[in-house]
């Protein structure tokens, strides 16, 4: 099966870094030189959510302040805002970029507005110049670029955003098994609180990222696995670090899987799924019952935990990854263009505007949300995993946050867009012919009558 995402990791690089864990020294790790030629300040921390929280505290956010966000955003963004003491103010998204609608900013900004956090959703950049023009310097702009490849940010004109947030989680363009980067375009605006300097090596995260990469290879993958399944398997003793290291090494030495490795990984995934079979969330996803996911969210916003500096091994893997992902960048652009050209004129769907962006995944929304569920099942029947995996509902419709947020603007069209959303796979194990096959299925479902 073609998985919904493939962890952004190069196995050869991971093995080099894990060699340090085994006592084989590969070198000192510093910030990547992709940032060295800029006047930006770069901070590597334990998660993207921590990076956002750090930025909010750096501008002095406190109780009573308001932070503007789009309705289509990651719950971790809302958790960070609530942890800072501020109130999230939720605005509609537009059907072009699927990002924050700048035209709604005017009625939302007031004397309590401390920051605006527009999201570069799925890698498509928000309308940042329009947002900045309407904002007119009244609030700090912290661009949520969690789903953007760090390679892209180097070429961006950062005149409009005061800071960027990057995520290095399992399903991102570059992963180190969890981590985040805060890039301050205007360091003078931020007075950052202290960061925990007791650096963690996060070894299980790295092994988990490598195992997830092997498990989600199309030669092995057979259906839904949580994006952190690899880390959980290592941490919970499903498989030893030594065994993961040997599987990774075998994968490289043999340029793929042997029957023995394939069988071992399939059994591991089955055992994990059996022990987690009571998970209501996993069962709903497997059955395509997206509309029932909202009540599964936790009853209260997730506590942030501590903000700590990223460990040396993770930083080393990030530095090694940058060069490789220039090639990945070109592949994603080529596949995204093929999706876009095949779907842009189809009636009954919204297609996310594509203007050469390097996308994490390609997204469409069916105006008939019942057809969205049909489409996910139809694609699964031809071994393609697709669906609204990250954000199955507008953030204001998730009960967890209902008592913590303020909603501004009319949400009818936004709710239709988000609840009809389908993410199509876009990674190195998807070829152009398969994009054409996926496009044909989407077109067929969208134009069906009855």
Q: How confident is the model at residue 40 (pLDDT cuts 50, 70, 90)?
A: confident
Q: Give all domains of the chain, ordered by start, each with its CATH number.
A: 32-187 (3.40.640.10), 323-445 (3.90.1150.10)
Task: Tell me what percent of the residues of the chain surpass a pLDDT of 90.
Answer: 66
Residue 191's nearest CA partner among 55, 304, 6, 337 is 55
Q: What is the mean pLDDT of residues 34-46?
A: 78
Task: Tell me what percent of the residues of the chain surpass a pLDDT of 70.
Answer: 89
Q: With beta carbons less than 8 A apart as the criterion, state whether 162 and 189 touch.
A: yes
d(CA 359, CA 120): 10
User: Among 28-42, 97-111, 252-266, where is mean pLDDT lowest?
Assistant: 28-42
Question: Where on the phi/psi map is residue 348: left (φ > 0), alpha (ψ -120 to 50), or beta?
Answer: left
pLDDT of 333 strictly over 80: yes
Helices 259-275/203-215 angle, 10° precision: 110
Residue 244's nearest CA partner among 203, 201, 274 is 203
For residue 315, the model assigns a pLDDT of 87
Q: With beta carbons less than 8 A apart as the criterion, state whether 301 and 78 touch.
A: yes
For residue 123, the model assigns a pLDDT of 93
Q: What is the pLDDT of residues 340-370, one digit of tens each?
A: 999 999 999 999 989 899 999 999 999 998 8
Q: With beta carbons less than 8 A apart as the criterion, state whether 146 and 48 touch.
A: yes
pLDDT of 145 strictly over 70: yes
Rounded to an integer, what is the distance from CA 368 to the centroid of its chain? 25
Written as one string, the DSSP assignment of 25-57 is --------GGGTTSS-EEEEES-HHHHHHHHHH
Strand order in the sheet with 362-366: 349-351, 362-366, 421-424
Residue 82's nearest CA partner among 69, 100, 91 is 69
For residue 30, the model assigns a pLDDT of 55
For residue 157, the model assigns a pLDDT of 72
pLDDT of 35 strictly over 60: yes
Burial degree of 238 (CB within 10 A; 0-12, 13-18, 19+): middle
Pairing state of beta strands 163-167 and 180-184? antiparallel
Q: What is the pLDDT of residues 224-282, one digit of tens each?
A: 888 899 999 999 999 999 999 999 999 999 999 999 999 999 999 989 988 875 555 56
Number of Cβ atoms within 10 Å of the Cβ of 95: 17
For residue 125, the model assigns a pLDDT of 92
Q: What is the mean pLDDT of residues 34-58?
A: 87
User: Among 86-100, 163-177, 344-358, 377-391, where is mean pLDDT lowest?
Assistant: 377-391
For residue 296, the model assigns a pLDDT of 57
d(CA 283, CA 98): 28
Q: What average pLDDT does the chain have?
A: 89
Q: What is the mean pLDDT of residues 415-438?
A: 95
- Specify which of 124-128, 313-317, 323-327 reaches the highest per-range mean pLDDT: 124-128
Q: How confident is the model at residue 155 (pLDDT cuts 50, 70, 90)?
A: confident
């Amino acid at each position: 099966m073609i998985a919904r995402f493939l962890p952004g990791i190069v196995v050869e690089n991971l093995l080099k870094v894990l060699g340090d864990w085994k006592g084989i020294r590969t070198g000192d790790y510093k910030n990547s030189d992709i940032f060295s030629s800029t006047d930006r300040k770069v901070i590597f921390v334990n998660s993207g959510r921590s990076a956002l929280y750090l930025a909010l505290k750096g501008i002095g956010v406190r109780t009573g302040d308001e932070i503007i966000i789009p309705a289509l955003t990651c719950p971790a963004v809302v958790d960070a805002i609530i942890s800072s003491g501020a109130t999230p103010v939720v605005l509609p998204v537009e059907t072009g970029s699927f990002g924050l609608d700048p035209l709604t900013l005017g009625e939302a900004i007031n004397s309590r507005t401390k920051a605006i956090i527009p999201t570069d959703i799925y890698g498509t950049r928000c309308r940042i110049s329009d947002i900045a023009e309407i904002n007119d310097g009244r609030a700090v702009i912290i661009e949520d670029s969690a789903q953007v490849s760090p390679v892209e940010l180097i070429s961006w004109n950062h005149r409009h955003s005061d800071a960027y947030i990057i995520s290095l989680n399992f399903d991102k363009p570059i992963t180190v098994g969890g981590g985040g980067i805060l890039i301050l375009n205007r360091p003078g605006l931020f007075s950052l609180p202290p960061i925990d300097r007791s650096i963690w090596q996060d070894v299980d995260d790295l092994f988990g990222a490598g195992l997830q990469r092997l498990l989600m290879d199309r030669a092995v993958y057979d259906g839904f696995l949580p994006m952190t399944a690899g880390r959980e398997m290592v941490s919970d003793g499903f498989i030893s670090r030594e065994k993961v290291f040997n599987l990774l090494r075998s994968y490289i030495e043999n340029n793929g899987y042997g029957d023995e490795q394939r069988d071992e990984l399939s059994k591991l995934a089955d055992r994990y799924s059996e022990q987690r079979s009571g998970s209501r969330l996993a069962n709903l996803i497997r059955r395509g019952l997206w509309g029932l996911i909202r009540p599964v969210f936790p009853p209260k916003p997730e506590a942030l935990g501590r903000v700590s500096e990223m460990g040396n091994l993770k930083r080393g893997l990030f530095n090694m990854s940058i060069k490789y992902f220039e090639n990945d960048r070109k592949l994603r652009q080529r596949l995204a263009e093929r999706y876009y050209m095949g779907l842009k004129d189809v009636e009954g769907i919204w297609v996310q505007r594509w203007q050469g962006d390097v996308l994490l995944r390609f997204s469409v929304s069916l105006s008939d949300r019942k057809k969205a569920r049909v489409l996910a099942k139809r694609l699964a029947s031809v071994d393609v995993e697709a669906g609204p995996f990250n954000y199955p509902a507008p953030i204001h419709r998730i009960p967890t946050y209902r008592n913590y947020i303020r909603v501004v603007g009319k949400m009818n069209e936004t709710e239709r867009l988000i609840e009809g959303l389908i993410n199509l796979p876009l990674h190195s194990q998807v070829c152009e012919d398969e994009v054409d096959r996926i496009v044909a299925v989407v077109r067929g479902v969208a134009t069906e009558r009855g």
